[in-house]
Structure formats: structure tokens, C-alpha cells
Structure 1
Amino acid sequence: MASLFDRVAKLARDPRTQQMVNKAAVKAKEVANDPKNRARIEQGRAKVQAEIAKRRGGGSGGTGGPGATPTPGGPAPR
């Protein structure tokens, strides 16, 4: 009985599999180069970076938290 790795290697060498992978790669490049999708990708990247910065305790884009500076006219600090 062939091991799982042997079966995956055989599948990877199959010309039909290679053709499907190449077709998917071409489609992915087309989708990535579409201006609408590039804007969506950029927005998502910015959200992820802001969340990472917030969790690390620095950066901008936070909604305020324990160390946030109060805004004038805002609620009094506790």
C-alpha cells in the first residue's frame, strides 16, 4: 500500500493536476490585478495591520482602550 506522501507526489506529477494548478494560478493573477479587488485587498491589509498594531499596544487605528487618551468633552477617566 502506497503511503500518503507517495499518493500526493503521484498526484502532483499528474499532467491534469499540473494543468489545473496552472489554470488556477492564471485566474488568481487576473483577479489580483483587477482594480476593484486590489482596493479590497488593500483595505483588508490595512485592517489586519491596524489590528496587529492595536494588539501589540502601539500604532494607530485603535478604538481606545485602557491606555487611550480621553478626548475633550468625552467621558471622565475612571
Structure 2
Amino acid sequence: MAGLIARLKAYSRTPQGRRTIASARRAASDPRKRAQARSLLTRLRGRR
């Protein structure tokens, strides 16, 4: 598990990782995208 977190930290420091984070932040601030994500999580949790 620690290896995965270390790889994620390293990725977040790269230019591509920073672009990905910025894109995710923009999507998270959009109410429509938030609703889509919430419904997706609800469907995924319901399958368990």
C-alpha cells in the first residue's frame, strides 16, 4: 500500500499529474459533474 501512495505522490509532482489534478478540480467545481459522480458512486456501492 505504501508503494502505491509513493507512486501517486510522484505522479502528482509531474507536469502531467498537475494537469490531471487541475482538470479534476475543475470538474469537481461543476455542479453537473458532481451530480454525475455522486450517482456513479451510488451505483457502484449498490452492487456490493
Instruction: Work out whether the TM-score is over 0.5.
Output: yes
Distance 1:20 1:35 in 2: 25
Number of residue equivalences = 37
Deviation at 1:29, TM superposition (A): 1.0
Structure (1 or 2) with the greater helix fraction: 2
* AA of the residue aligned to 1:32: A
Alignment TM-score, normalising by the size of structure 1: 0.40
**Following TM superposition, where does structure 1 have runs of at least 4 consecutive aligned residues deviating by more than 3 angstroms?**
none
Alignment root-mean-square deviation, CA: 1.9
For 1:4-61, what per-residue CA distance to the aligned partner results, in whole angstroms no more than 9, with x for missing partners? xxxxxxxx6xxxx822221221111111221001000111111111111xxxxxxxxx
| Counterpart AA for 1:47 | R
Match of 1:25 in 2: 21
Match of 2:38 among 33, 36, 42: 42
| Larger RCO of the pair (alpha carbons < 8 Å, separation 6+) | 2
Mapped to 1, the partners of 2:47 and 2:16 lie a distance apart of 36
Which protein shows a greater Rg?
Answer: 1
